[in-house]
Structure 1
Amino acid sequence: MRKWKWSRIVMVFFVMLFLAACGGKSQESVLSKIEEKLEEADGYKVKAEMLMRTGQDEQVYEIDVWHKKQNFYRISLTNPQDEKGGQVILKNEEGVFVLTPALKKSFKFQSDWPDNSSQPYLLQSLVKDVVNDKEAVFETTDQHYIFQTKTNYQNNTLLPFQEIYFDKKEYTPVLVKVLDKDKKSQVEVRFSRFENNPDFATDDFKTEETLASLSATAEETVVTEAEEMPFTVMLPLYTAGSELVDKKEVETDEGKRVILTFAGEKNFTLVQQEEPTVETATTSEEVKGDMIHLGHAIGFITNQVIEWSKDGTHYMLASDELTKEELIEVAQSVQGQEVK
């Protein structure tokens, strides 16, 4: 009887060893494999769809990400509802640019983007967030490895968490959910294609050549709409407890300018200016500030001012009383048309 018990104990011991050896991979081994694939690749191309719930209305973006190993990036963000086309973030040896092809305009940033903040559609940024979070939670499903980590959004502390899903076979991102403080998903990026080591043309990451090429394509698709589209005053749907108390319209050499003054719990000013298409695209306007994605457009924030362009209109939101988070929330909500 005693011999039978010892045989059973030994058998259970070896079964446990076998299960441990065949069990799921650890967080460290999965992360190491992802980093290895990223390091070995000369670049990648990604197609994804980004859903943003950070404003009053949901915004959907189609995203094309091109990355070349010399730390070059080209990210095209297109909102199907934007009648003037999308915008492109470009990083090359000259710096970081935001291009608006429909207006033939570009803005240059003195920035260490994308390293200065979390980027839910860039593999490098996702890996960096996992590595930097020593308290990251790791779990597996039948198809995915899942990391739950903190985010690093310099200009938005309202989105502190994220869930990152990697494909078990390919070790490529499948889904990223950016969560608010209540762990509710506010931004979702779904990856539909991930191509390693793609071919790039010589001019794919050059500023002037990229802007000229994209502007020609945008002009073909929006020229008739641009001629017919009237200047429309847009109002914020979130006003931080303030109300519109004054509206001034001014005619300038570039077109109509509207100045909206809001007063109440926290005062702020919203300026809207018609933005004509430039004839040439040989220079970039240099801006001092941090790039920020508002959901409906890419803009830049400096101190207590946010500026962005959308549908042929340039917006500037300024306040000495709104917090940075409130300023962003007001800017994200500038989607309501003025009632005549």
Structure 2
Amino acid sequence: MKKQIVIRMMIALGFVLLLAACGEKSQEEVLDKLESKLEEMNGYKAKAEMKMNTGQEGQTYKIDVWHKKKDFYRVALKNAKDDKGSQIILKNEEGVFVLSPALNKSFKFQKEWPENGSQPYLFQSLVNDVAKDKDATFKAGEKYYIFQTETNYQSNNNLPYQKIYFDKKTYTPVMVKVLDKDKNPLVEVAFSEFNTSPEFKKGDFEMEKNMSAGASDSAVSGDGKTDAFSVVIPFYMAGSELTKQKEIELENGKRVIMTFSGDKNFTLVEEKNDVVPTTTSPQFVNGEIVNLGHSVGALSGNAIEWTNNGVNFYLASDELTEAELIKVAKSVKRKEVK
């Protein structure tokens, strides 16, 4: 009898040890593994699709991410609804740039990006958000480790949370869902490829090479001329309306200045060149990069600049808050002035 009890106890103990050996990793262990992987890697290349439902109509981006340790980044974003070429966020030893190669236009920023906010398509940003949030929740699924954390979007406080899915075998990101205050997903990033042993060529992170390579998606025809200019106005006008519109013929195109008056006054300038300039110097911006959904813009003080469908836009106001300025800019699309 005693022998049977001992055998049963040994079997039970064996099951306990087996379960312990096969048990899931804790939140702390997974985070340690993620941080170790980041430290060990010399860089990565990733492909992803980002869907944004933060405006009047959804936007979809194809994204190519290149990162070379320690501080070199190249993020190419191709908007499915903008056939005028991609934009590239580039960081190298000279600074941070937003490039629009098809228009030969570029902005230069201070070097805080990407550390100054959440970036749902950058591996290190996701891991940093997990590490910084002491109240992050954690769940181990069948294939993924899932974290829910707070975000840090300086220019958009309407997206306070994110849910991040890491592959349990490779510890690389698979999916990111950025959530609104009601935990509804408004931005989704789905990774289709993630190469942790990439090869880079000389010049991959140089501005000149990326401008010339991206120009193959140019908005110009064979004779160098751009498409027709259609003036558009915002869907969201912050309680104002279009009260004045002035057209100025330029030597190489047209500029339209629109004045909106009402609850919050603002000015919107749209400009299009008939021929893409051959050489330009980066325009320095003492501000930050902001994703407007339809394009990537430069936010500085009380103004935002961006390019979309071959048109240069400049929005400024002394009365709009920063959040309202971004909201107006996001809504400037596909509503033509009659």
The residue number in structure 2 matching 1:284 is: 282
Deviation at 1:285, TM superposition (A): 2.0
Matched to 1:61, the amino acid is Y
- 1:48-70 deviation per Cα after TM superposition (whole angstroms, max 9, x unaligned): 00001112110000000011013
Change beyond 3 A, Cα 1:154–1:45: same
TM-score (norm 1): 0.92
Q: Which AA in structure 2 matches 1:158?
A: N
Contact residue 231 and residue 337 of structure 2 kept, 8 A = no
Q: What does residue 67 of structure 2 align with? A: 67
- Give the distance between the partners of 2:133 and 2:194, measured in 1 at CA: 25
Sort the Cα spacing of 1:337 and 1:141 in 2 relative to 1 into closer, same or farther, 3 A.
Answer: same
- 1:9-24 matches, within 5 Å, as 15-16=15-16, 18-24=18-24
Sort the Cα spacing of 1:4 and 1:321 in 2 relative to 1 into closer, same or farther, 3 A. farther
- Does residue 285 of structure 2 align to residue 322 of structure 1? no
Q: CA deviation at 1:222?
A: 4.4
- RMSD over aligned CA atoms reads 2.3
Q: Which residue of 1 aligns with 2:127?
A: 127
- Tell me what 1:234 maps to: 232
Query: Using the alignment, how far apart are the partners of 1:74 and 1:13 within structure 2?
Result: 53
SS of the residue aligned with 1:223?
coil
Within 5 A, what are the aligned runs for 1:134-283? 134-215=134-215, 217-219=216-218, 222-224=220-222, 227=225, 229-275=227-273, 276-280=275-279, 283=281
Q: What's the secondary structure of 2:248's corresponding residue?
A: strand
> C-alpha offsets along residues 26-57 of structure 1, whole Å, 9 cap, x if unaligned?
11111111222221111110000000111211
Tell me by how many angstroms 1:279 deviates. Answer: 1.1
Match of 2:30, SS? Answer: helix
Aligned pair in 2 of structure 1 residues 105, 2: CA closer, same or farther (>3 Å)?
A: same
Match of 2:103 in 1: 103
Matched to 1:279, the amino acid is T
Measured at CA, do residues 277 and 53 of structure 1 come closer, stay the same or move farther in structure 2, by a change above 3 Å? same
Structure 1 position 214, deviation (Å): 2.2
Structure 2 residue aligned with 1:293: 291
- 1:132-160 deviations in Å (ceiling 9; x for gaps): 00000000111110000000111111111
Change (3 A) 1:30 1:204: same
Flag the 1:28–1:102 CA change in 2: closer, same or farther, 3 A: same
The Cα shift of 1:106 comes to 1.8
Q: 2:285·2:300 contact (CA, 8 Å) conserved in 1? A: no
Q: Which residue of 2 aligns with 1:38?
A: 38
What is the DSSP-based 3-state SS (H/G/I as helix, E as strand, rest coil) of the residue aligned with 2:35?
Answer: helix
Quickly say closer, same or farther: Cα 1:289–1:253, change in 2 above 3 A: farther
* CA deviation after TM superposition for structure 1 residue 102, in Å: 0.5
Change (3 A) 1:225 1:308: farther
Distance 1:257 1:171 in 2: 50
Q: Is the 8 A contact 1:158 1:325 kept in 2?
A: no
Other structure's SS at 1:244 match? strand
Q: Could you tell me how far 1:3 is from its partner in structure 2? A: 11
Does structure 1 retain, via aligned residues, the 8 Å contact 2:235–2:332? Answer: yes
Is this contact kept in 2: 1:84–1:226, CA < 8 A? no
Q: Which amino acid aligns with 1:85?
A: G
Q: Is this contact kept in 2: 1:43–1:67, CA < 8 A?
A: yes
C-alpha contact 1:79 1:86 (8 A) present in aligned 2: yes
* Structure 1 Cα separation of the partners of residues 231 and 12 of structure 2: 74
Q: Tell me the TM-score normalised to structure 2 length.
A: 0.92
Shift of 1:248: 1.6
SS where residue 77 of structure 2 aligns? Answer: strand
Amino acid corresponding to residue 136 of structure 1 in structure 2: A
Distance 1:79 1:291 in 2: 17
What secondary structure sits across from 2:39 in the alignment?
helix
1:49 maps to a residue whose letter is E
